[in-house]
Copies of this chain bind each other. A is one copy, B any other.
């Protein structure tokens, strides 16, 4: 694995393609009030949680049904104008930025849970349903959808970026949990992929080609997902450690033993301090694992005892338990607010988040060397991780007015990604490539594989209108 050849571009290039007035007129005629060209609406749809900025899309269509999406894409295809699908805007990688101009299709109004099949542990939703909404609507069935990337993202957006998050160590990612899709193709045709059967060998796996394609091959309009019975017993525990290394070595051993832990999150001492300040939690300001165990009461007890034993070997403290739903929610809310807690710890800052993921045996090597580098840089940061999967995020907290800080942070990220790739890992465990990791993708996958991706893109989207300029340059 060679080192990436260049630091990724700090500012995305903006090469707008013309958006003819005739298209805007046609959209307004077809969609009426469902189409907006108001500056505020366009601005809101032209950014995400990344630190990039380019001019916004020329119009926003608020789709209310699949046919709306199909018609908007067909019109855009007619005028060869880019189309960017929009959920809630929680991308961290610039997926929503109109780097080649174009129009935004907001799927937020397509927020119906279409059919629940509790006896098959499946549900079909429109793409604009968010994960929290889904779990609220299915609560009475005794089932839940585990994928939890932190943000209350739409399931369409989560599918498009192959999202995962805290529960993935046990339940897998969107890759494993999407059974089928409805997709509007680049020509405005509506296709379906997959079935509700749990497995299939029926032709190319179009479902998984679309999952993680970041809007570049089509617009996802419906999703059929796997659900899981809410475990009989759920317990969350916190364990503090004398060092990050001790915490990480505990996790490595837990995973290698095959303990079916449901969540195991690392939070470093800096970040615990930020979370304490933000959420008033009074946690011990040491590196910490936040864990959750799912199963039968006996199974949960057995898992927890095994993990506590391993933690003891590495100097971990006795677990502090949260067994009521309220206590658990408080802890996990604090974890999910780590990003905002960190942002508040340095007023006016912007965060750049890393997303490397490595084989579990390499986690300590990758993480500890990168901590040393980050500590030496003088840049404040937070550090959290879905460490059971080998995935962790540094968030470098930058003064946006200091270009030197940005350069130092990009250099840290560059070194981190090089290290992760050398250890057999990936530049992005769950956020996607977007605008920021295109060079890294080439280094990771090789020019041959990226050229295969481009060939597929050209074949399925010959006019290059589906979220162009993301994943690879084209």
A residues near B (Cβ < 8 Å) are 117-122, 161-164, 168, 172-173, 175-176, 185, 189-193, 195-206, 208-209, 211-213, 217, 228-229, 252, 255-258, 296, 298-299, 302, 355, 357-362, 389-391, 421, 424-433, 437, 440-441, 444-446, 448-450, 452-453, 455-456, 458-460, 471-472
A421 neighbours in B (Cβ, 8 Å): 195
Q: A197-B426, A359-B197, A446-B191 are contacts. A121–B471 as well, Cβ < 8 Å?
A: no
Q: Is the CB of B430 within 8 A of A199?
A: yes
Residue of B nearest to A257 (CB): B229
Q: A192-B449, A302-B298, A456-B456 are contacts. A429–B200 as well, Cβ < 8 Å?
A: yes
Q: Is the CB of A453 within 8 A of B198?
A: no
Interface centre among A185, A202, A228, A460 (most CB of B within 10 A): A202
Q: Is the CB of B453 within 8 A of A460?
A: no
A362 neighbours in B (Cβ, 8 Å): 120
A200 neighbours in B (Cβ, 8 Å): 162, 357, 426, 428-429
Q: Is the CB of B203 within 8 A of A433?
A: yes
A195 neighbours in B (Cβ, 8 Å): 421, 424-426, 444
The 8 closest A-B pairs by CB, nearest first: A459-B459, A229-B258, A119-B361, A208-B208, A191-B448, A200-B426, A120-B359, A196-B424
Residue in B190, B199, B456, B471 whose CB lies within 8 Å of A448: B190
Q: Is the CB of A198 within 8 A of B357?
A: yes
- Using A120-B359, A205-B212 as known contacts, list a sample of 19 further A-B pairs with CB atoms less than 8 Å apart, ordered by residue number in A: A118-B256, A121-B256, A162-B199, A164-B199, A175-B208, A185-B448, A192-B449, A195-B424, A197-B390, A200-B429, A201-B212, A201-B428, A202-B440, A204-B212, A206-B445, A209-B456, A298-B298, A298-B299, A455-B459
Q: Is the CB of A175 within 8 A of B424?
A: no
Q: Is the CB of B120 within 8 A of A205?
A: no
A197 neighbours in B (Cβ, 8 Å): 357-359, 389-391, 424-426, 429
A158 to chain B, nearest CB (A): 11
Q: Once bound together, how far apart are the Cα atoms of A258 and B355, in whole Å?
A: 32
Residue in B299, B359, B437, B448 whose CB lies within 8 Å of A196: B359
